[in-house]
Amino acid sequence: MISAATDFPPVRLLIVDDSSTVRAILRAMLSGKKEIEIVGEAVNGREAVALTGKLRPDVVLMDIRMPVMDGREATAEIMAECAVPIVVFSSLTHGEEARTSIDMLALGALDVIAKPDLSDQQAVDECSRMLVRKIRTASKVVVVRHLRGRMRKPVSTLDTQAKAPGKAYAALGIGSSTGGPAALRGLFSRLPADFPLPVLLVQHITRGFSNGFVEWLQQYTSLAVRIADSVDKATPGTVLVAPEGRQMEVFPGGGVRAFSPKPKGVHLPSADVLLSSVAGAYGRNGIGVLLTGMGADGVEGLGDIRKRGGLTIVQNEESSVVFGMPGEAIRRGAAELVMTPEGIADFLLSIVEPTFGVEEA
């Protein structure tokens, strides 16, 4: 039945969890929510794969640790056979389970949310609100099949002026959101430990999972990956990740600050804030990259870099999980180059030079 309040049909949800207690709590949390209809429940990954094919839900809410088949393998099978939006429901935000959660995002899941402390009613209520929001958002994303083991061939659309003679680049800023882990893995796995530029990254991720994301990403790159301190320094061969709940900015000379709690729109951290600071700190020697994601965060900042004469690159549509951010950057004229994450890495390696003698912004 269509809700008069929304005039849209409810999101058809499949719950996957081996705990009958958790499934009952989820039913209670989502009961009365006209935006969501629970159409089925599975107790392991194998049942989840079968019910997804049979019921064709709009969204799957997926546990990780289950018998018969775990959430990681179920996510891979669903995304390969009958792709639907998946939201990971994780009991831990650190350690192996957190890394597995991020791995599931790289396999095609759209988002992750932490299970609440069931003895804390306030935490349960907050989780309920977040679940509804994330399930509704996921239902609007058109996902594509992810065939395991298939590598996309790097494809580029290049501006011939991008590698101007005598032009040295000094820093790389990256904004990434939905689908970002897989894109970042493709990009960073091709960059060597002696990559001569400092890298600054904003990745939109659910609060509590930043440490797990950094641990996960470090498995796939020779670069040093860490969360930025409140006062830090951008150094070659290091990826500084914006911390949760704080904006990250870089300043002339490579000084980094990550302490402002003020959102930019709804984003904290925001790719716009980071990339605009790259434009201000490095001018024509800055590089901005915008990867897959919903909305338009990062487009304004990328435009600032291009206005200052820096290099701007966005992920192409074919390799993006969601083409919102890159597509909007193209539409607004903020993107100079369009290519796959692997293509971005290869191109960067073809143009970077020692950073001495760069122009001041």
Catalytic residue selected from 101, 204, 272, 304: 204
The angle at the Cα of 46, spanning 42 to 49, to the nearest 5 degrees, equals 80
How far apart CA 140 and CA 8 sit, in angstroms, is 12
Long-range contacts of 208-212 (CB under 8 A, 24+ apart): 208/93, 208/114, 208/244, 209/90, 209/93, 209/98, 209/101, 209/102, 209/112, 209/114, 210/241, 210/243, 210/244, 211/93, 211/94, 211/98, 212/93, 212/94, 212/95, 212/98, 212/99, 212/101, 212/102
Catalytic residue selected from 90, 101, 176, 177: 177
The question of whether 94 is a catalytic residue gets the answer no
The question of whether 204 is a catalytic residue gets the answer yes
How far apart CA 299 and CA 276 sit, in angstroms, is 10
Backbone CA torsion sign across 180, 186, 187, 191: positive
The question of whether 304 is a catalytic residue gets the answer no
Catalytic residue selected from 297, 304, 319, 320: 297
Q: Catalytic residue numbers?
A: 177, 204, 297
